[in-house]
Amino acid sequence: MNIDDFSWELVAKYLNNETNHSEKLEVETWLNQSGENRNEMEKYRKMMDKVDGFYKAKSFDSNTAWKNIHSKINPTQLKIVQRKKERKELFAQFYKYAAIVVVAILLGGFGYYVGFRKQVSALEIVSAEQQVLNEYVLPDGSIVALNSNSKLEFPRQFAGNVREVTIIGEAFFNVKPNPDKPFIINAGNTQIKVLGTSFNVCAFPKTETVEVIVATGKVQLTRRNEDLLVKNSEVFLVPGEKGTLFNESNLLEKSVNTDLNFLSWKTNDLIFNETPLSEVVRCLEKTYHIEIQLTGPNLENLMLTAHFNKKPIGFVLDVVRLTFNLELTGENEHFTLAGRNK
């Protein structure tokens, strides 16, 4: 966590002892994370002291103070003191106005600094291992579902003429339409541009491909790294189509999506139609965040036809076991399907 995660209002409330218990705990947890964080807060504390000094100077009642002095001195001394007072008031007034200008400049600069950082600093949502964040609303109202071990980076507010985010991992986007402000996603070595649509992006680091599968609307998929030796620097995708960038060759391809389960990680709805068991296992591992080992000759070539809608993994594996007369062992996250000895 860094200072950008706090609003100026929360910082000000903490420095003025106006935070509730949870807010105070949040700030102090951040303070204890590093010396840099404590130094940052100290800068804000000093700035607040300057502001307090300004208001104290502004509220000083010089007339009342002079009357108190006047009652304690004689008339002769009064003339001398009066002249000295006038000179002092002249200088004091000058310095007071100078101080006001300085503090105003500091306040203006600080306000701009905080506002600017708040506007342009990035937020991020991160899903843990074996955790799916099924719905997250972005500042423009677009909705994102995040698969496990994935990260989405985006600004606090979408400024300028575009709405730009970065995905590391896999996510399903349901983009709120805005023809005047395209939605742009940076995913690996690709960039995806949409106006309003829904689609799945898979761009895990160190994988062979970046894949985009469109559910609704139209998407423009572009290579971020220009390669004059490779054709197709961009493709346009409509529902039912898939765009694939092969990272090693930098080749960008468009094809018909044949994967009925590309969203099973989000929906837990699985459809297999004469699907090889090797592909079934791959899909189950991704959907349920488990490991399945096939032990035995030609098991990977067995064909499964079945439909599982939000069924627990134990139920699914039992169906596979009974369908092909296999032995099922294991529990929790590790399972083995083995052929029976005849």
Give the tens place of pLDDT for each residue, 159-169: 889 999 999 99
The last residue of one of the domains, among 231, 256, 281, is 256
Say whether pLDDT at 259 is over 80: yes
User: 303 and 213, same structural domain?
Assistant: no
User: 246 and 131, same structural domain?
Assistant: yes
Domain ranges, residue 224: 123-256
The last residue of one of the domains, among 256, 273, 299, is 256
25 pLDDT tier (thresholds 50, 70, 90): low
User: 132 and 252, same structural domain?
Assistant: yes
User: 184 and 101, same structural domain?
Assistant: no
- Which tokens go with 11? 């910082």
User: 137 and 96, same structural domain?
Assistant: no
SS (H, E, C) the chain: CCHHHCCHHHHHHHHCCCCCHHHHHHHHHHHCCCHHHHHHHHHHHHHHHHHHHHHHHHHCCHHHHHHHHHCCCCHHHHHHHHHHHHHHHHHHHHHHHHHHHHHHHHHHHHHHHHHHHHHHCEEEEECCCCCCEEEEECCCCCEEEECCCCEEEEECCCCCCCEEEEEEEEEEEECCCCCCCCEEEEECCEEEEECCCEEEEEECCCCCEEEEEEEECCEEEEECCCCCCCCCCEEEECCCEEEEEECCCCEEEEEECCCCCCCHHHHCEEEEEEEEHHHHHHHHHHHHCCEEEEECCCHHHCEEEEEEECCCHHHHHHHHHHHHCEEEEEECCEEEEEECCC
Q: What is the mean pLDDT of the chain?
A: 79
User: 75 and 33, same structural domain?
Assistant: yes
User: 105 and 140, same structural domain?
Assistant: no
- What is the pLDDT at residue 183? 96
Amino acid in the structure at residue 25: L
Between 219 and 19, the higher pLDDT residue: 219
Say how many domains are in the chain.
3
User: 21 and 131, same structural domain?
Assistant: no
Tens digit of each residue's pLDDT (9 = 90 or more) over 199-227: 999 999 989 999 999 999 999 999 887 65
Dist. CA 179–CA 119, nearest whole Å: 22
Q: What percent of the chain has pLDDT over 90?
A: 49
The last residue of one of the domains, among 90, 120, 150, is 120
User: 321 and 293, same structural domain?
Assistant: yes
User: 194 and 84, same structural domain?
Assistant: no
| Count of Cβ atoms closer than 10 Å to residue 115 Cβ | 11
User: 197 and 279, same structural domain?
Assistant: no
Q: pTM for the complete prediction?
A: 0.63
Say whether pLDDT at 58 is over 60: no
Vertex 41 angle, CA 113 and 27, to 5°: 110
Dist. CA 294–CA 335, nearest whole Å: 9
User: 268 and 247, same structural domain?
Assistant: no
